[in-house]
Amino acid sequence: MKESPDTKKLEAMLRSSKLSSSGFMGTDNRAVGEIIDTDLAVLSELGYTPQELAKRMQQITDAATEALGNWAKIGDSHEAMIIEVKGRIPCPWPHAGNFAKRVTILRDIETKSQIKWSDLNIHLIAEHDFFEGKNSEFRIEPADLVKALY
Ligand SMILES: [Zn+2]
């Protein structure tokens, strides 16, 4: 991601609690471009693009939505459920559009290890290659996500 005058504005928005009480950067002191580049490198090593992951996440969210509050079977080893959270949240990038705050939980049936994402996470990954900063509430480790999705 290129540094630009707008990047500073975006960084300030990502670190503020204006949209998300915990912010999008967590305790991560790296610049947003560095976070994105590092995560993209991890994904490229694993052979996936953020867009592929986001598409699979959306499919799982859709399947879980149809299960109406129950666990939906995802493949042989996983299940997913929607946690409804009231309200909507806009994307911190400067463009129109906001997202339901609902959360999808994807868990391994055997180990119960789980990963969660919001509708906004799917958008941030698909459109901005952004998995959030370390220790932010909705940070997703790309390697963990790949392991859970495939
Ligand atoms: Zn956006």
Residues ≥6 apart with Cβ < 8 Å to 17: 23
């540094």: which residue's tokens?
3
Give the single-character DSSP code of 12: H
Nearest-angstrom CA–CA distance, 74 and 12:
38
Q: How far is the CA of 47 from the centre of ligand 1 (A)?
A: 24
Give the per-residue pLDDT at 140.
97
Cα 13 to averaged position of ligand 1 atoms, centre (Å): 12
Phi and psi at 65, nearest 5°, equal -60, -40
Distance 46 CA to ligand 1 centre (A): 25
Q: Domain boundaries in the chain?
A: 5-149
Single-letter amino acid, residue 97? G
Burial of 23 (0-12, 13-18, 19+ CB in 10 A): buried
Centre of ligand 1 to C-alpha 9, Å, is 14
CA of 76 to the centre of ligand 1 (A): 33
Distance 109 CA to ligand 1 centre (A): 32
> Which pTM does this prediction carry?
0.94
Rounded to the nearest whole angstrom, what is the distance from the C-alpha of residue 128 to the centroid of ligand 1? 6
Q: What is the mean pLDDT of each run of 10 residues along the chain (150 residues)?
A: 77 89 91 97 98 98 96 97 94 92 97 96 98 96 95
Distance CA 148, CA 129 (A): 18
